[in-house]
Structure 1
Amino acid sequence: MKHVAVKALAWDLAADIYLPPGFDESRTYPAIVSVHPIGSCKEQTAGNVYGTALADEGFVVIAFDASFQGASGGEPRSTEDPVFRAQDISYVIDHLVTLPYVAADRIGVIGVCGGGGYSINAAMTDRRIKAVGSVTGVNFGRLMHESFSGYDPIGALDAVAEQRTAEARGEERRVTQYLPASPEAAKEQGLTELDLSEATAYYRTERGEKPNGRTEGLFSRQASAIGWDAFHRAEVLLTRPLCVVVGDKPGAFGAYRDGLEIYRRAASQDKELVVAEGFSHYDLYDQPEPVKIALDHLIPFYKKHLGP
């Protein structure tokens, strides 16, 4: 694995490049950009699970920290802005096409959770992406427009505007914590909803916790997400081959719903919907059986469309 710095808008993105077994820098390889979930980082499921597995199958895989997050640059910190998130993917591709061992015409993208929605959105306008995979992908704009804004997007936008003005005048920043501090805290709060409780079990324990993982978002920068839609114009612009993987145990984040929606709406002539029966959103992050179901479809999908 190589650690690299990717030039973005006015800062660097921290990225890890996973190399295939027997890597030979004089050869050229197909490449895949791996996009991490919301509140996550490159060392979690995007890198250590899917990045590693796809590299083992002969792909060069690059997992990176989003702008304003992890070890990447950008201020203010903990900003989750879908516009920047999708653009980050293109900056990473800019880096890939300069590498002599990457085949510039054989680049794909894979995203987990919110990263799946960002990957789909990026593939609509960056035609350098030749194949797109989404693992339990979530349309973060839809989530923010609905439950994350209390089903009151206008009220939420008013509150965001007020907070941004306050911060511009020097008041303390307001950071939203997406999850309880621990599974024990979740129990004390009576938190039983599937996705929220399983997210806590993943991010707040040794199972998934990493130093750069930050399950938080800056409240004053949420307006962009409330007005954004990962699937906008998919019926026309999403023509690249598409593989959508979801679990059939639906939770509050809506990956099952979003997966079926984008599969239906995508203009792609070559598209596949994979339903991991009996598994949930967070099972597809790192649990061996559902991850194997995902990879058993994703690996041949990428080999077909990016080449061996």
Structure 2
Amino acid sequence: MVISLEKPGPDGLNEAVDALREWQSEGVAWQLHPGDLGWFWRSGAEATAAAVRIWRRDGRILAVGLLDGADLLRVTTAPDVRRDEELARRMAEDIVAPERGVLPPGEVSVEAPNDALLHDLLPGHGWHAGEPWTPLRRDLTEPVKDPGLRIETIGPDDCHVWADVMRGAFDGSTFTPEKWRTMATGAPYADSRYLVGYDEQGDAVAAVAVWSAGQGKPGVLEPMGVHRDHRGHGHGRAITFAAAAALRKLGSSSAGVNTPSSNVAAVATYESSGFQRLPEVRDLTRDAS
């Protein structure tokens, strides 16, 4: 059957989320998680749908992509079709041709699982290895140690606290309580938790969102931040312990995170919180012509 490229409407997003949930499993390279769509949902269902691409054959979803910003496509496939030549060639054709509506012309990047055949095909179209990223993973079989901070789970009534910490943690962040409430309307919200850590003075010092993909499947942290006024006290490590504990309570088999390798401090924080560094992965990048 012919492989088709689709841009789902808001009503079709749940199908993409369900496919991503199904594809998550231990030992399988991951690149896109339902939590990634859940975090993007802060911009609304219509904006999320406009950023999603689906490749389908004979009614079955084979691959899902998320245009995360104007110049980055994060994409993954069902595990059994990572080396499917027909799929990889169709995806490569769609990605390199701006008129297909997957990526614009100019300098752009693609994140795909390391074992995907796409990595073998795109360099033939003028692409090259780009920015290195470090995946990290923590097994959740055993209980997680106490974080050493007072941790509160955030809901609609106090989402402004989570939003305030996020704005204080990331330069240029425009996150608001309204965006939190919009995010809470998305399908992945039911499998997520939003945590805030408070220090001994009662100040909200760190925050994290965690996303489960279901019982016995890997979960992810996205995002995690420490307010700039409260750095240097180990709060990043503490909130990461809390995140791992929350995912374990949700039934996740492991906790995962992906961070630029250049962010040495973040990598060190996750490693000190019991995460193991996995082999580095790289974007595929096409320079501006």
Q: TM-score, normalised by structure 1?
A: 0.31
Report which of the two has the higher share of strand. 2
Larger RCO, structures 1/2 (Cα 8 Å, 6+ apart): 2
